[in-house]
Amino acid sequence: MRTQVAIIGGGPSGLLLGQLLHRQGIDAVVLERQTRDYVLGRIRAGVLEEGFVDLMAEAGVADRMEKEGIRHDGTVLAFGEQQVHIDFTRFAGRPVMVYGQTEVTRDLYDAREKAGAETFFKVEDVTLCDVETDAPYVTFRHEGEDKRLDCDYIAGCDGFHGVSRTTIPESVRTEFEKVYPFGWLGILSETPPVHDELIYSNSEQGFALCSMRHRMLSRYYVQCPLTNKAEDWSDDAFWTALKARIPQEYAERIVTGPSIEKSIAPLRSFVCEPMRWGRLFLCGDAAHIVPPTGAKGLNSAASDIYYLYHALLEHYQEKSTAGIEAYSGRALARIWKTQRFSWWMTSLLHRFPGQDPFDLKMQRAELAFLNDSEDAQAALARNYVGLPY
């Protein structure tokens, strides 16, 4: 088999790249190690930057998002009972879109199937070969048969545990990592959201986040030790913990109900440099991970796709390799800025083991500064809605 671009990973970043390329007449084959249903069963964040929304429109898959998504013009940061409202439209000139990652992925899969683009599910033993040459190829096993896919370029969109990043020799890549000493316990419940915007809260009991998927589907989180297991938390224990960590006005009116999904996510910051080796490009979690505070995970992947898509477009339409040569540098320049923002939000809003009274005073002072400074609110808003590509 032969294609122009081999995409390793059938999550939202790989599918978005494939759909964008298809619309420009560039052929791409997607290889995914899981089933479609498994990919769609992953519960992930749903806050989309305007840049991501624009990419979905360019890919021709924005119709359902525009009908069912919820635009947010701001967010609330709380420290105990003190609250600061960050006005996105005032300070950044644009909102964010709340639309679940599962729905993004579903829309992209539906579009790919409608286009008749080739996707292989449940692939095994994926190996990226000769990526430093002009003739890279991928070998894999599918339905009991060994297959080979020749290509011009390979996009590694297969996540932190995929084969793409580790294909780059250790002597070539440098990895930066910070592991946080806590996780997020999250539940999904078929209840109306407690507020029409997201609430980020720092309390004496720890961090909490009130989020949503749509008008009758809420997503809530509380900070918890990494030693906890989701099954050890009853629904009642979760709701009690959440109410104790958010301002009283929200705790009194929150609608509780049985959880339909419950899980604990560890938090880490991670970056791999470079993001290109020969004809292999890393995208999304294959190259970088952010803590979910600030909603940058999927959005960071989208910025990679933007740079790679335009680099490939420039190559195939204008016979130029300038974008390809610049890909890693451009992507990393933006990634480190989103890493800084996610790290800052995490540091501001969580309780860390060993924090002393001075550390807590610094968190309170930071929130007070946000409350008093429109410049600080503007900086937060511009980072949250997304830095320009």
pLDDT of 237-289, one tens digit each? 999 999 999 999 999 999 999 999 999 999 999 999 999 999 999 999 999 99
pLDDT at 218: 94
pLDDT at 253: 95
In a domain, 80, yes or no: no
Task: Give yes or no for a contact between 77 and 203, defined as CB atoms under 8 angstroms apart.
Answer: no
357's CB contacts (< 8 A; 6+ apart) are none
What's the domain range around 310?
Answer: 5-72+94-177+268-347
Q: Which of 137, 153, 180, 200 is catalytic?
A: 200
* Cα 140 to Cα 26: distance, rounded to the nearest angstrom: 22
pLDDT tens digits in sequence order for the chain, 389 residues long: 999 999 999 999 999 999 999 999 999 999 999 999 999 887 676 899 999 999 999 999 999 999 999 999 999 999 999 999 999 999 999 999 999 899 999 999 999 999 999 999 999 999 999 999 999 999 999 999 999 999 999 999 999 999 999 999 999 999 999 999 999 999 999 999 999 999 999 999 999 999 998 888 999 999 999 999 999 999 999 999 999 999 999 999 999 999 999 999 999 999 999 999 999 999 999 999 999 999 999 999 999 999 999 999 999 999 999 999 999 999 999 999 999 999 999 999 999 999 999 999 999 999 999 999 999 999 999 999 999 99
Q: Do 217 and 297 share a domain, yes or no?
A: no
Say yes or no: 59 and 204 in one domain: no
What pLDDT does residue 215 have? 83
Residue 274 lies in a domain: yes
DSSP 2: B
Q: What is the pLDDT of residue 41?
A: 81
Coil/strand/helix, residue 130: coil
Per DSSP, the residues of 249-315 read HHHTTPPP--EEEEEEEEEEEEEEE-SEETTEEE-GGGTEE--STTS-HHHHHHHHHHHHHHHHHHH
Judgement on whether residues 211 and 307 belong to the same structural domain of the protein: no
Q: Is residue 78 part of a domain?
A: no
Q: Examine the domain organization and report whether 170 and 117 are in the same domain.
A: yes
Check if the beta carbon of residue 173 is closer than 8 Å to that of residue 275: no
- Give the chain's domain count: 2
Out of 12, 22, 72, 315, which one is annotated catalytic?
72
Same domain, 247 and 197: yes
- Catalytic: 296? yes
CATH code (residue 101): 3.50.50.60
In this structure, the answer to whether residues 49 and 136 fall within a common structural domain is yes
Please confirm, yes or no, whether 258 is among the known catalytic residues.
Answer: no
C-alpha torsion sign, points 40, 44, 46, 50: negative
**384 part of the active site:** yes
Q: In what order do the strands lie in the sheet with 28-31?
A: 119-120, 28-31, 5-8, 153-156, 280-282, 276-277
Assess whether 130 and 238 both reside in one domain. Answer: no
219 and 243 assigned to the same domain: yes
Helix orientation angle between 322-349 and 297-318, rounded to the nearest 10 degrees: 170
The crossing angle, in degrees rounded to 10, of helices 50-58 and 297-318 is 40
C-alpha–C-alpha distance, residues 176 and 91, integer Å = 32
Structural domain includes residue 61: yes
Asked whether residue 210 falls in the same domain as residue 252, the answer is: yes
Reply yes or no on whether 337 is catalytic.
no
> Is position 87 within any domain?
no
77 belongs to a structural domain: no
- If asked whether residues 167 and 287 sit together in one domain, one would say yes
**158 and 12 in one domain?**
yes
State the distance between the two ends of the chain, measured CA to CA, in whole angstroms.
34
Rounded CA-CA distance 159/180 in Å is 19
Asked whether residue 51 is domain-assigned, the answer is yes
Task: Summarize pLDDT for 118-148 with one digit per residue, the tens.
Answer: 999 999 999 999 999 999 999 999 999 999 9
Tell me if 268 sits within 8 A of 175, measured CB to CB. Answer: no
With respect to residue 81, please indicate whether it lies within any of the assigned structural domains.
no
Q: Which of 291, 292, 306, 350 is catalytic?
A: 292
| Region of residue 115 (phi > 0: left; psi between -120 and 50: alpha; otherwise: beta) | alpha
Instruction: Return the CATH number at 245.
Output: 3.30.9.10
3-state DSSP helix/strand/coil percent for the chain, to nearest 5?
40, 30, 30
pTM of the complete model: 0.94
- Record the tokens describing residue 161, joined without a space: 């545990």
Q: Are strands 124-129 and 217-224 parallel, antiparallel or unpaired?
A: unpaired
Active-site hit among 288, 296, 315, 350: 296
Tokens 């309390």 belong to residue: 203
292 catalytically annotated: yes
d(CA 281, CA 131): 10
How far apart are the C-alpha atoms of 78 and 201, rounded to whole Å? 5
Same domain for 48 and 14 = yes
Residue 43: the pLDDT is 66
